Amino acid sequence: MKTKTTRRTHLKVLGATLGGAGFLKAVAPLAQWTGDLDLDGFLQNHYKELGPDELASVLARHEEACKADYGADVEIRDVRPTPGVVFGYALNLSICNGCRKCAEACHQENNHDRASHQSYIRVFEMQKGSMDFEHGDAGYDHAVPAKDKFYMPVQCQQCENAPCVKVCPVEATWQESDGIVVVDYDWCIGCRYCEAACPYHARRFNWHKPEIPAEEVNPDQAYLSNRIRPQGVIEKCTFCLHRTREGRLPACLEACPTGSRVFGNMLDPDSEIRWILENKRVFVLKEELGTKPRFFYFFDE
């Protein structure tokens, strides 16, 4: 009886030791991961709750981190919306030729991951006679424009009634006063509910830490737009707010060789976008969903 009890105790001790060792082995990678996290980042508040001093130190910390991680000297600014401005975007499907220069410009301007060749714009080759994406193809690989096809670039529609904003459990994404839907990359928990909610496939997730060679990093960055995103968070098109809020045009528009893209302040009666909206028969994607996009399409003829 005595020996049986001792053997049992020995077995228990052995089991507990093995179990403990196995546990430590299993969580070992996490130790490395928590080592990479810094306390300031962990405790950082939501963008809207940052005071001017806090925000300045957050921006400085991110600039240093970019230097350390990517070897690039960058300037990260906080660019706020201008009162009395609501941005709109229109795209002329009669002249878009499907060259995908816009998607490439987006890739570079917004410091996208090089490995996945990410971009906020997908260009669909569509069958003439149908507006149904069922007959579209985003993976075409031939000279453009092809016969009997037209081309439909799709990016974030900056919906007035945005399903993605509604579903976010932590208010990490919201609509600014100029209509641009932004993400606080430092607040997003990475649940991807917004990605499921978006009817336009406009959101992207950082499945890995983005890879960009130092010389290719665009140093002109903003906190809410094109700064290099952390791993495990959602990102999306911001109408290049670091450019457009300072009077410049979005990178995709500047890159377009056909002139099919029109961008501007919809509240300005003299703007080109206003002229398009007033004089062309524009339409929006999936109007029946009631999302009220601020991205419009039209044909010339």
Partner 1 sequence: MSRPDHTQSYPRFLWRCVLSSLEGNGYYFAWMGGLFVLMLIGLDAFSGQTVEGMGVTAMSDHVSWGIYIANLTYFVGLAAGGVMMVIPAYLYKDHEMHKVVLAGEFLAIAAIVVALGFVAVDIGRPDRFWHIIPGIGRFNWPMSMLTWDVIVLSGYLLFNLHVAGYLLYTRFIGEQPSARFYVPVVLLSIVWAVSIHTVTAFLYSGLGGRPFWNTAILAPRFIASAFVTGPAFILLALQIVRRVTDFDMGVGPLRTLVAIMRVTAIVNLFLMLSEVFTLFYTGGAHAVGARYLYLGIDGHDALVPWIWSSMALNFTSAVLFVFSGVRKHRFRVNVACVFALVGIWIEKGMGLIVPGFVPSTLHEIVEYVPNLVEWKVSIGLWALGLMIYTIGAKLSVAVYTGAERLKPASNPDTDDNASSTKASTP
Least distance from partner 1 to the Cβ atom of residue 34, Å: 8
- Burial letters for 153-166: b for 16+ Cβ neighbours within 10 Å, e otherwise? bbbbbbbeebbbbe
Least distance from partner 1 to the Cβ atom of residue 251, Å: 21
193 touches partner 1 (CB under 8 A): yes
Figure out which of the listed residues 14, 15, 67, 75 binds partner 1, where binding follows CB under 8 A.
15
Closest CA to 109 of 233, 232, 275, 227: 227
C-alpha to C-alpha distance for 283 and 275, rounded to whole angstroms: 15
25 touches partner 1 (CB under 8 A): yes
Q: Which helix (H) or strand (E) holds 12?
A: helix 2-36
Q: What angle do CA 252, 258, 259 make, to 5 degrees?
A: 65
The interface mask with partner 1, positions 95-134, x = CB under 8 A, is ---------------------------x-x-------xxx
- Report the largest interatomic distance among the alpha carbons of the chain, rounded to a whole angstrom: 97
Cis-peptide, bond into residue 145, ω within 30° of zero: yes
Q: Is 163 helix (H, G, I), strand (E, B) or coil?
A: helix
Figure out which of the listed residues 80, 117, 208, 248 binds partner 1, where binding follows CB under 8 A.
208
Subset of 255-274 contacting partner 1 (CB under 8 A): none
Closest CA to 182 of 32, 35, 277, 48: 48
195 touches partner 1 (CB under 8 A): yes
Figure out which of the listed residues 88, 136, 153, 264 binds partner 1, where binding follows CB under 8 A.
136
Decide: 174 and 139 in contact? Cβ < 8 Å.
no
Least distance from partner 1 to the Cβ atom of residue 29, Å: 4
C-alpha to C-alpha distance for 127 and 123, rounded to whole angstroms: 13
170 touches partner 1 (CB under 8 A): yes
The DSSP code sequence of 222-268 is ETTTTSPPPTT-EE---TTHHHHTTT---HHHHH-SS--EEEEETT-
Instruction: Tell me which stretch binds partner 1 (CB under 8 A): 83-91, 196-204, 219-227, 257-265.
Output: 196-204
Decide: 273 and 89 in contact? Cβ < 8 Å.
yes
Nearer Cβ to partner 1 (204/243): 204
140 touches partner 1 (CB under 8 A): no
Least distance from partner 1 to the Cβ atom of residue 81, Å: 20
204 touches partner 1 (CB under 8 A): yes
154 touches partner 1 (CB under 8 A): yes
Subset of 209-248 contacting partner 1 (CB under 8 A): 209, 230-233
- What are the CA-CA distances from residue 123 to residues 41, 46, 119, 136, 255 (Å)? 36, 34, 10, 9, 14
Nearer Cβ to partner 1 (200/263): 200
Instruction: Tell me which stretch binds partner 1 (CB under 8 A): 73-81, 162-170, 242-250, 259-267.
Output: 162-170
Q: How many residues bind partner 1 (CB under 8 A)?
A: 62
290 touches partner 1 (CB under 8 A): yes
What is the contact surface with partner 1 in residues (CB under 8 A)? 12, 15, 19, 22-23, 25-30, 32-34, 37, 42, 46, 122, 124, 132-134, 136, 138, 154, 163, 166-172, 187-193, 195-201, 203-209, 230-233, 286, 289-291
